[in-house]
Amino acid sequence: DLDPSHIRRAPATLEGGYEAAKLLLTESPEITAVFAYNDIMAMGALRACRDLGRQVPHDCAIIGFDDIRLASISSPSLSTVRIDKYELGRAAISRLLEMLQNPTQQFMPLELPVQLMLRESTLPPVNS
């Protein structure tokens, strides 16, 4: 179960990911995994772990979202959730047009398929 006190809000930047992860891991050293809003924030979390002396993935696993090119070449390579950005854009424009044509209609959330890209940042932690 996710403890709501372990959720940190931060700018969706490298610095935001770094500061949020550093604060979270300092306040709650028992945490063994971080799921970031995007890959850039996850890379900030990688840096925070290094600065705190925590080895990724042995002490803390990290996963991002987007599967940007840098995710596969970072060190360690970043596990991430891949979504088809073209399909996401197409679905968003389609929904926007529907909303403009039917402004009073309630719409269900869109669900698009994703793919989990497991890489070096998510080996099982040693202390689990």
Separation between Cα atoms, residue 61 and residue 120, nearest integer Å: 9
Residue whose pair of structure tokens reads 């909303």 in the numeric block = 99
All structural domains of the chain with their residue ranges: 4-83+114-122
User: What percent of the chain is predicted at pLDDT more than 90?
Assistant: 91
Residue whose pair of structure tokens reads 């959330």 in the numeric block = 109
Q: Per-residue pLDDT tens for 1-28?
A: 788 999 999 999 999 999 999 999 999 9
pLDDT the model gives residue 126? 56
pLDDT the model gives residue 125? 54
Amino acid present at 96: L
pLDDT the model gives residue 1? 79
pTM: 0.86
CATH topology of domain 4-83+114-122: Rossmann fold (3.40.50)
Residue whose pair of structure tokens reads 């969706």 in the numeric block = 12
Lowest mean pLDDT: which of 30-39, 40-49, 50-59, 116-125? 116-125
Instruction: Count CB-CB contacts under 10 A for residue 105.
Output: 8
